[in-house]
A and B are shown apart, each in its own frame.
Chain A
Amino acid sequence: MGGIAPMAENPPAIVMDGAGLQSLLEALADRGYQVIGPQVADGAIVYQSLAAASDLPAGWIEQQDGGHYRLVESGDARRFAHVVGPHTWKRFLYPSLQRLWSATRQGQGFEISTEGEQPKYAFIGVRACELRAIGIHDKVFIDSGFTDAGYAERRRRNFLVAVNCARAGDTCFCASMGSGPDVGDGYDLALTEIGDADDPSYLVEAGSDAGADLQRMLPGRPAGADDLSAAADAVAAAARSMGREMVADAGPLLKRHLEHRQWDAVAERCLNCTNCTMVCPTCFCSTVEDVTDLSGMETERIRKWDSCFTLDFSYIHGGAVRREGGSRYRQWMTHKLAYWWDQFGESGCVGCGRCITWCPVGIDITEEARAIAASETAGQGED
């Protein structure tokens, strides 16, 4: 991430054809980046090492709904008509398993050693909501008084190629969260898929010095006014076709109803499976485990993703604080939509819809909020 320079200093936008994407990947690889991007694997679009632009999921879109995800052919050649799948970029920036440090016993004491060099990642196809989610983690791990050294270093070395969404998914609601579908800023390069759906072109805009540098390596022609308006129209169309919508002022609404029968109602359906927290791009909770070898001489501290949906999560001597499913769902939802504002000055939900799609029983955060809002209008709901 090269820092965000004012657009005036960046080269004017260009338009490149599909082959330009391969040039982009090669230029990134030349600069030592490990390139990660969307690909089809096991019936879903996932983020993994991207060897060639031909591995991008051209011609695929998803059907998504509460508890439902299926890839279908789009009938055209667009590479970024899909939206978001089960993976998030946090699996690279904040991996589900991280060794914090290891230690070796020496006499009555021990010596601690920390990790070596951090990977240098370039992400291809970061959506607006995901860019916002990365910004949120930057705040948690870098800018809130303490800095997570590993995370900060991975981010410092990180290159982000964002993609404007030209199509919204069935469980997307970023427009109502103010976090998309326009990528806004915070990227190195931004792409918008435009033109003929059977042979799409890419509007390329630089958002940082590192992005501008790279853009100069790419083949393409200067973007015209019609290219820019085609891109703007595509994003506007995505904004109009959001599959879901969050009620207005959800944060204050939930704070008014911390005791509400809807919490029990959702607890009756929720399996406490933790899926929603695992797929959420902003959930950052973790726990720590100590793994010691058989000799007892070597030990490692491992940090793993954790979830507020487990009973252990709130355990203190004497028993868990949040024993009921309702209080755990409330913890998750109020943190996302209400308390995050107090803690970090923004929403903890970016409206990506993953928690809806990947919930095995289809619990829908927008519906749960709507049910509470509706009870307020109807003047009922408190216990």
Chain B
Amino acid sequence: MNVLAPNRTVGQDPMVPRSFVIERVRKELSDTYTMDLVPRDGLPFRFEPGQFNMLYVFGVGEVPISISGDSKVTAGISHTTRSVGKVSAALNALQPGDVVGVRGPYGAPWPVADVHGMDVVFVAGGVGLAPLRPAIYWVLAHRAEFGNVAIFYGARTPEDILFRREVQQWRGRFDMTVHVTVDRATGAWSGKVGVVTQLIKGGGFDRHNAVALVCGPEVMMRYAAEALGERGMPKQNIHVSMERNMKCAVGFCGHCQWGANFVCKDGPVFSYDRAEPLLSIWEL
């Protein structure tokens, strides 16, 4: 797996960001926005689904945010961010024309390029759909190379369903299945209520020949991986995306240490046979 940034120029300091201009800001949810960014230097930006960038807001700080757009597009990038604190809120307050610093792309991608011929199961919780979206685009762009494709998506309430229009479009396709559940029904919701693990129990994939890409809160990923395991999927075919505090993304700051791994370089995507033993240890 190539974990090195493909467009890092030799000799350039990896701690110095490139400037990107915000082209468009889309409000997704009450606290979540997607921004489209274009590089000021006009050079292409290449990444693989599952990789992330360090986004810098002038004078405020820098945070790791996954790339949520299409990896076939190299003229710009998209990021979908939920406001949870200082930097994410400052990022979401920016307007078109404002400039952000971008370092990346970093990290090990989802293994979409290595799983031809297999069924692909996406399991997402909340804004965890954003880091999965580039992988979904990739699989749909190479649809003929895969078996069944299923998305299991859980959100807190119907109002928290991310990329709602796109999810509806995917749902309307004949070559994939999309199941959505909410923790709590509100308004006119007539769909499923319950946790995403419930959906996994419904199956819809060949357990001997499927790969699962799982992204969401850590507990949700553990339950999802267990449910997939119970359905007979081998742990090495289940992949999760880990979150740890990150101050550098290049192995310098130590903040993301997780056992023998730097989550920034060895992850954030880990196969569950590697992740499970670490997840089971208290406060590792």
Among the interface residues B17, B84, B284, which one has the most CB atoms of the partner chain A within 10 A? B284
Question: How many residues of A are counted as interface, with CB atoms below 8 angstroms from the partner's CB atoms?
Answer: 49
Which residues B49-76 have CB closer than 8 A to chain A?
58-62
Bound complex: CA A147 to CA B60 (Å): 25
A100 touches B15 (CB 8 A): yes
Q: How far is the CB of B8 from chain A (nearest CB, A)?
A: 8
B247 touches A331 (CB 8 A): no
A314 touches B244 (CB 8 A): yes
Residues of B within 8 A of A147 (CB): 14
B284 touches A327 (CB 8 A): yes
Residues of B within 8 A of A259 (CB): 281-282
Which residue of B97, B253, B260 is within 8 Å of A108 (Cβ)? B97
A108 touches B99 (CB 8 A): yes
A146 touches B14 (CB 8 A): yes
B58 touches A299 (CB 8 A): yes
Bound complex: CA A100 to CA B257 (Å): 22
The total number of A-B Cβ pairs within 8 Å is 118
B61 touches A287 (CB 8 A): no
B13 touches A258 (CB 8 A): no
Q: How far is the CB of A158 from chain B (nearest CB, A)?
A: 18
B257 touches A146 (CB 8 A): no
A324 touches B59 (CB 8 A): no
Residues of B within 8 A of A109 (CB): 19, 21, 40, 98-99
Among the interface residues A146, A299, A331, which one has the most CB atoms of the partner chain B within 10 A? A146
Does residue A323 face the partner (Cβ distance < 8 Å to B)? yes
Which residues A83-140 have CB closer than 8 A to chain B?
100-101, 103, 105, 108-110, 112, 114, 140
Contact (A299, B254) CB under 8 Å given A100-B16, A323-B283? no
0/1 string, B264-282, CB within 8 A of A gives 1: 0100000000000000011
Bound complex: CA A321 to CA B98 (Å): 34
0/1 string, B81-112, CB within 8 A of A gives 1: 00011000000000001110100000000000
Does residue B252 face the partner (Cβ distance < 8 Å to A)? yes
Residues of A within 8 A of B235 (CB): none
A313 touches B19 (CB 8 A): no
Bound complex: CA A335 to CA B260 (Å): 8
Q: List 27 A-B contacts (CB under 8 A).
A: A101-B15, A108-B21, A108-B98, A112-B16, A112-B17, A145-B4, A145-B251, A148-B13, A150-B13, A284-B252, A284-B254, A285-B254, A286-B253, A286-B254, A288-B62, A290-B61, A292-B59, A299-B59, A301-B15, A306-B255, A308-B257, A315-B245, A316-B243, A316-B244, A322-B283, A323-B283, A339-B259
Residues of B within 8 A of A (CB): 3-4, 8, 11-17, 19, 21, 40, 58-62, 84-85, 97-99, 101, 243-245, 247-248, 250-255, 257, 259-260, 262, 265, 281-284
Known: A314-B244, A327-B283. 12 other contacts (CB 8 A): A109-B19, A110-B99, A145-B251, A148-B14, A258-B281, A286-B252, A286-B254, A288-B248, A313-B245, A317-B85, A321-B284, A322-B283
- The 10 A-B pairs of least Cβ separation, nearest first, read A285-B254, A109-B99, A327-B283, A342-B260, A292-B59, A149-B13, A146-B250, A299-B59, A339-B260, A317-B84
